Structure 1
């Protein structure tokens, strides 16, 4: 009888569990710093007298600076111990977020977001590289299911707490909360994580710029870059104006807003580990396609809503995020499998950069599409935004299919 060659899902070691927990917590702070801008959007637009276009620029400034730093860091990403690289950029991220908390006008906030993006935008790429270095390919779906829970946890805990603090002490307090938490996580990484430097023995390119060029010119890598860039467009288009849409179009109050994010995050916490396990067992592209179809249906419903009860808003958001998570995990797991070991750091940095830049363009475009006559008027053209996002999701399916075929060929 022919033996099965399917890998057994062996348990993680205690150190691997520690790494997963630290990366999940780190992801929580990075995602929260970016995600909290959307629910604080209504506070910021009113307190700093911002137009939708101006707020779109605040959101995209982080993305563009993150993209630029990722490209600059890519050539050096495989030249250093991953732990040291992670701590360097995380320290800069903490300083940038503190500057956000201390901002008193639009210009200061814009500058602070640029600084935060310069450092924060590279951290996700370094984290994904660490996952790929430490965990075998048949473990990565489970790991990503947990690490990406930082996204869900930011919705369940971070955003509601951030909004609660903003309602009491103002929007500055939300960023201070992130700074305090990030300092504790950074110290734990410093003292508890081992060096990650095995890749240093495999380096052949002496020049960081030559190393970057080799990563950029690889045809297989280019397909991974395009797939990631198209996938990020949808989220960056809808997310910045999420809270303003809920408050001004659906008539959700500032006090009810944390509940919407909390229940949406709870749904994500339930679905993400399940999707992670599923992506290790079934065809990742098929799972991605199913999530994409679900996301398109819910986006078209969501962007055409009028005033409805709170529970209906919560249900629609929960199902929408289930679709989004079912896209994110298998697509990320596939993309992580594209580069060779010696190129992982460079690939992940460039990949994150293009993701951020595409997101920045998407946020700016959304700011140009969406209009608002006064500070309390309903947002206009949000339904058009839904159609644009749906078309981008369909295009993304094609590119992720190409990535899936490349990974299978490897």
Structure 2
């Protein structure tokens, strides 16, 4: 394993911690700045919106530059944003710090995924991307609980000081451990990057990302209400249950990366079908505490098992200009988050109960299965046509979904 992947994972850990730890510290932050819950919530939603803007706009702006210096610059932006949050004298400064830190989020993961894939041989690209995203899963498993505890014990600003330090470590790691891109792997420029979106498979991959990840996140957004009001767990048990969910994320990310290296499309189809079934069973058995725990872990595992494959697939069909498409797919993950959360909240507001977001998630994921089936079928049909044109009769094969065809 190239050691540079560890530096990328540390950066992913810090960014993931920045995104999620605020949820556990929101009451303390709101009280310190004397703002209500709705205003404090903008520290989360404003961050998410900025992620989408950064993933598209910032990635597009830097496509003509070498990727390693760009990653280092993004981490400087991350450090500045979190430093501003740690020092913020008022709510407006805190929100500005959150926005600055968020702008690097999508671009870092989008460009970082391309850099990670370039560090390894083609057969291990999805696994390399999974290692980078291990930082994000570790942020959920370890970073958020301990970051929340630190903030509660020493003040919420201490958590952002710690995140700033993590950013410095990641920056040094990128500068020292990540190799410079070869001439062949340098960014292709904005025009070439935009041409990648002529591929129907790029758009199908992005659609699967929005629907598949949106289904999982829609169920997860309101999971605390489900676990307490339906499954019967005490509120004090929820953080520990979320750690189990995070462990599922960690395992699913690793296994999903290895499976996607063997066959991307087959992996995504199997995982999405399984995730749909798990969400449906979760909704049906949510009143059973044991079944809820099992479903929670499996939901995290199968939900995040899609990530390496989805990121690898969109990059493969973007061919020689994958940077902007990779960033767009990171934006798609966040759009899926917003879609799932909105749909789940709408169903709760309609009086359909706290299992309704899980049903909504199952519906979104089923739609992802349908789109992925269309995408894979199209690839296999094109592969069969090409084989009949160039290979003697009798040869057969299964399309991998990453052949780079349109």
TM-score scaled by length of structure 1: 0.78
Out of 233, 244, 253, which is 2:214 matched to?
233
SS in 2 for 1:407: coil
In 1, Cα distance between the equivalents of 2:79 and 2:220?
23
The residue that corresponds to 1:340 in the other structure is 319
The Cα offsets for residues 247-284 of structure 1, whole Å up to 9 and x where unpaired, read as 66656556544422333333444444333323333x43
Query: Is 1:63 the equivalent of 2:44?
Result: no
CA contact (8 A) 1:288 1:327 kept: yes
Query: Is 1:349 the equivalent of 2:336?
Result: no
In 2, Cα distance between the equivalents of 1:183 and 1:32?
14
- Distance change >3 Å, CA 197–CA 165, structure 1 → 2: same
In 2, Cα distance between the equivalents of 1:302 and 1:86?
40
The residue that corresponds to 1:390 in the other structure is 362
- Distance change >3 Å, CA 128–CA 268, structure 1 → 2: same
In 2, Cα distance between the equivalents of 1:248 and 1:168?
29
Q: Gaps spanning 5+ residues in structure 2: where?
A: 380-400
Q: How far apart are 1:307 and its partner, in Å? A: 7.5
Q: Structure 1 stretch 231-240 or stretch 360-369: which is displaced more?
A: 360-369
Out of 306, 315, 320, which is 2:294 matched to?
315
Q: How far apart are 1:194 and its partner, in Å? A: 2.4
Q: How far apart are 1:143 and its partner, in Å? A: 1.9
In 2, Cα distance between the equivalents of 1:30 and 1:242?
23
CA contact (8 A) 1:79 1:200 kept: no
Out of 278, 283, 295, which is 2:259 matched to?
278
- Distance change >3 Å, CA 213–CA 132, structure 1 → 2: same
- Distance change >3 Å, CA 183–CA 173, structure 1 → 2: same
SS in 1 for 2:123: coil
In 1, Cα distance between the equivalents of 2:348 and 2:90?
23
In 1, Cα distance between the equivalents of 2:219 and 2:336?
13
Out of 198, 202, 205, which is 1:221 matched to?
202
The residue that corresponds to 1:50 in the other structure is 37
In 2, Cα distance between the equivalents of 1:391 and 1:153?
28
Q: How far apart are 1:125 and its partner, in Å? A: 0.1
Q: Structure 1 stretch 312-321 or stretch 383-392: which is displaced more?
A: 312-321
CA contact (8 A) 1:227 1:399 kept: yes
Q: How far apart are 1:197 and its partner, in Å? A: 4.8
Question: More helix by proportion, 1 or 2?
Answer: 2
CA contact (8 A) 1:369 1:385 kept: yes
Q: How far apart are 1:153 and its partner, in Å? A: 1.5
CA contact (8 A) 1:29 1:182 kept: yes
Q: How far apart are 1:224 and its partner, in Å? A: 2.7
Q: Gaps spanning 5+ residues in structure 1: where?
A: 1-11, 373-378
Query: Is 1:400 the equivalent of 2:372?
Result: yes
In 1, Cα distance between the equivalents of 2:242 and 2:148?
10
Q: How far apart are 1:127 and its partner, in Å? A: 0.8
In 1, Cα distance between the equivalents of 2:202 and 2:129?
20
SS in 2 for 1:195: coil
SS in 2 for 1:340: coil
In 2, Cα distance between the equivalents of 1:233 and 1:140?
24
- Distance change >3 Å, CA 77–CA 227, structure 1 → 2: farther
In 2, Cα distance between the equivalents of 1:248 and 1:171?
29
- Distance change >3 Å, CA 38–CA 335, structure 1 → 2: farther
SS in 2 for 1:189: helix
Q: How far apart are 1:93 and its partner, in Å? A: 1.6
- Distance change >3 Å, CA 105–CA 267, structure 1 → 2: same
RMSD: 3.5
The residue that corresponds to 2:109 in the other structure is 124
In 2, Cα distance between the equivalents of 1:120 and 1:176?
18
Q: How does 1:220-299 map onto structure 2 within 5 Å?
A: 220-243=201-224, 246=227, 252=233, 255-281=236-262, 283-299=263-279
CA contact (8 A) 2:196 2:325 kept: yes
